């Protein structure tokens, strides 16, 4: 018994210190075997999900392949694919073991993806190319898709790069990526690169991200902020280029979304800039605005490309500031724009991370936590009421703006369906406005990967089918194009 406890501690330490996913996975699998979780994975039955429904769906798909009934397979996929079927994405199903979940769920997801790829890559008499494309597009629309949201957090937000790398290596990086403040810089870096360029980028840890240049109180008194916005602009443009939102999508196939807030106007609201809402705005100017924290960096003007490809101000009478103040995670807007129904959040805001529940999910209601939930709800309700009143009725503009920021901070949702966050130490807070060294960047990236690896199984259960549908659409479009021009 003593040896078993020592081995468990050793394996947990190996997981905590793993430098690669393979190292982490080997330790996690050994730990699951040692703790008896392997048997739990093999048993289909559980009250946490509808195992009977999923088992029947799985057998139906397998039967279609055995009998080579492609018409029935197409029908079974079209009417049977639903996001979170039978509650198989229930986070409790991924907390029992250190890696993986019920084998039935993993088998079902794998079979669906195999069936979709089979239909995509083989000639089916009952499904010519044009109908095949329609089938994949309709199924994708009804199934939904995931998104990745990258929060603010200044230099601490470089943790996002590790999260992106872990998702990328497992083919789980969503096509829809949103960012605010530093998250907008990372979203811009990722969203302006093709797959090959992104692979090369994520294999490096020598990125030039020297965004901070101190101006001091003189800069603040002159209305420029205590840090140099020109230096920040040069850093962003060096890493993102001069792409507009539309050009970035055409180049990479990824949809970038950046939150910005109006600096002062009462008649402008927080905006989500993207290829749909502002196709000709440059990503670097949107990111610069989203990083413009009042007092730290001055408000920024958005820059667009005109019909002649020349740069010019967009809404020249308005200036914009940090999007994370009012819309750190634009979950509702993404849902409407992109049919997103699953949100992966990388949360690094230093004032939020300490309050994120372990595992990133709020605790289930119970009698034991009822008093705390009641107190919390009362504080939130009355706090929002006070700040809502002050932001509308306070006698001075400064107090109204301050109350407005406080209200939006309290009213926001800072977590997603999966929330990936670092574990901050006091020393981490000292790095918020530091230019990262190569060693700091390397540490941020491995921290982001280690925090993401335990979530891979749950993200895969939710996202792999939609990712496969998107790839099938791309491949089918290419085949149709070749057919037309052949």
pLDDT tens per residue across span 421-470: 999 988 888 999 999 999 999 999 999 999 999 999 999 999 999 999 99
Question: What's the whole-model pTM score?
Answer: 0.88
| pLDDT for residue 157 | 95
pLDDT at 411 over 70: no
Cα 443 to Cα 80: distance, rounded to the nearest angstrom? 44
Q: What is the DSSP string of 15-77?
A: HHH-SSHHHHHHHHHHHHHHHTHHHHHH----TTS-HHHHHHHHHHHHHHHHTT-HHHHHHHH
Alpha carbons within 13 angstroms on the beta-carbon side of residue 59 total 6
Active-site position among 322, 328, 417, 428: 322
Cα 213 to Cα 204: distance, rounded to the nearest angstrom? 24
Name residue, tokens 């039955």: 45
Active-site annotation holds for 328 = no
For residue 59, which phi and psi values (nearest 5 degrees)? -65, -35
Expressed in angstroms, the distance from the first to the final Cα of the chain is 70
Instruction: State whether residue 435 is helix, strand or coil.
Output: coil
Radius of gyration of the chain from Cα atoms? 24
Label residue 211 by pLDDT band (50, 70, 90): very high
Name the more confident of 135 and 204: 135
Cα 461 to Cα 455: distance, rounded to the nearest angstrom? 10
Cβ neighbours of residue 257 closer than 8 Å, sequence gap 6 or more: 176, 177, 178, 179, 187, 272, 273, 274, 330, 333, 334, 337
Active-site position among 115, 180, 181, 457: 181
Active-site annotation holds for 184 = no
Q: Kindly report, residue by residue over 178-208, the tens digit of the pLDDT.
A: 999 999 999 999 999 999 999 999 988 778 8
Closest residue by Cα to residue 239 from 299, 289, 196, 288: 288
């Amino acid at each position: 018994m003593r040896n078993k406890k020592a081995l468990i501690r050793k394996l947990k330490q190996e997981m905590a210190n793993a430098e690669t996913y393979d190292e982490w996975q080997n330790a996690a699998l050994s730990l699951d075997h040692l703790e008896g979780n392997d048997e739990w994975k093999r048993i289909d039955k559980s009250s946490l999900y509808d195992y009977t429904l999923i088992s029947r769906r799985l057998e139906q798909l397998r039967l279609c392949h055995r009998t080579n009934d492609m018409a029935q397979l197409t029908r079974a996929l079209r009417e049977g694919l639903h996001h979170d079927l039978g509650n198989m994405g229930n986070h409790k199903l991924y907390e029992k073991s250190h890696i993986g979940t019920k084998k039935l769920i993993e088998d079902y997801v794998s079979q669906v993806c195999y069936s979709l790829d089979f239909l995509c890559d083989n000639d089916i008499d009952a499904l010519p190319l044009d109908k095949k494309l329609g089938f994949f597009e309709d199924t994708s629309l009804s199934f939904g898709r995931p998104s990745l949201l990258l929060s603010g957090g200044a230099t601490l937000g470089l943790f996002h790069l590790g999260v992106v790398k872990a998702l990328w290596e497992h083919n789980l990086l969503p096509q829809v990526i949103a960012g605010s403040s530093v998250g907008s810089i990372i979203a811009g870096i990722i969203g302006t690169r093709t797959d090959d360029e992104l692979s090369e980028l994520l294999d490096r840890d020598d990125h030039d991200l020297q965004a901070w240049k101190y101006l001091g109180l003189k800069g603040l008194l002159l209305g420029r902020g205590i840090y140099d916005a020109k230096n920040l602009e040069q850093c962003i443009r060096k890493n993102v280029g001069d792409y507009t939102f539309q050009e970035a999508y055409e180049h990479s196939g990824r949809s970038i979304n950046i939150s910005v807030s109006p600096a002062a106007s009462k008649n402008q609201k927080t905006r989500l800039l993207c290829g749909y809402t502002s196709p000709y705005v440059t990503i670097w100017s949107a990111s610069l605005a989203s990083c413009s924290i009042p007092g730290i960096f001055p408000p920024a003007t958005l820059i667009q490309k005109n019909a002649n490809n020349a740069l010019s101000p967009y809404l020249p009478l308005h200036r914009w500031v940090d999007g994370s103040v009012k819309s750190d995670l634009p979950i509702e807007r993404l849902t409407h724009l992109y049919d997103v129904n699953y949100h992966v959040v990388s949360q690094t805001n230093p004032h939020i991370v300490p309050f994120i529940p372990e595992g990133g999910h709020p605790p289930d209601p119970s009698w034991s936590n009822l008093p705390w939930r009641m107190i919390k709800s009362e504080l939130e309700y009355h706090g929002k009421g006070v700040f809502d009143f002050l932001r509308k009725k306070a006698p001075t503009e400064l107090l109204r703006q301050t109350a407005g920021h406080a209200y939006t901070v309290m009213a926001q949702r800072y977590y997603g369906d999966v929330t990936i966050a670092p574990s901050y130490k006091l020393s981490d807070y000292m790095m918020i406005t530091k230019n990262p060294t190569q060693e700091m960047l390397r540490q941020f990236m491995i921290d982001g990967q280690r925090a993401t690896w335990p979530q891979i199984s749950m993200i895969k259960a939710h996202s792999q089918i939609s990712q496969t549908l998107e790839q099938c659409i791309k491949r089918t479009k290419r085949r149709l194009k070749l057919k037309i021009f052949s």
